[in-house]
Structure 1
């Protein structure tokens, strides 16, 4: 099954019509090597000559997020990025706070940490989700700054 047919089936299974905008958004996220901002998704839609205003893109992403099809990552300064959900390949992200470069980080021992958290929080029976964000300075930005400890301002 090709990507378009797979996305059509995914949308129908989730109770959504396979509109050109929805199919294109899923295609953009499926082909992305890193999480995409709404602005970048809109730019990509525009380049494909698919009309969808920012509100439509946001509503579509929110609906897909609520169905577990996409994940929202709030990386910095409340600037949301989106990617396809990958339950079989759970990962986190590290972000360069200078240039915005994003890389996936996997292989962390989250299960161990989850057990420790539940042990120290007796009022809770289970953890259903979590989010870890790592911020730093990539090697390129560190080299450009000429300093071993390049400045990194983290949004609150």
Structure 2
């Protein structure tokens, strides 16, 4: 009897706390978005360390902030750590599988790793998401064309040499 009363009290307390938790969540999400904006400015100013710290703080405030995960991937790539960048992009796409910026960033990182087939998969997904076109699709398509042109030139030079 005492256990059921205790469970009832815990359940009622949790239900009453839901509106407050939702407000806190909104505050954290807002803070997280603000930190991402600051981090993006820092990254554009070539302040990778500052950007990384701000993106990490944004994730503490909201672990599901896809923009923060993509930002951390971009910071990793700026520091020459493409593999780490790919891990962040994968995490971002686990949270939001159709996030265009994450698909674009991942595709471009795949090309750095000579994984053109995976980049093409991202381009195809972007094509399905962007029926009327979008910047991410344009960027990935152009990068794939450049990649294939450069590799065709290298292949021709190797055959001639």
TM-score by length of 1: 0.33
Work out which of the two has the higher radius of gyration on C-alpha atoms and give 1 or 2.
2
Specify which structure has the higher proportion of strand.
1
Specify which structure has the higher proportion of helix.
2
TM-score by length of 2: 0.32
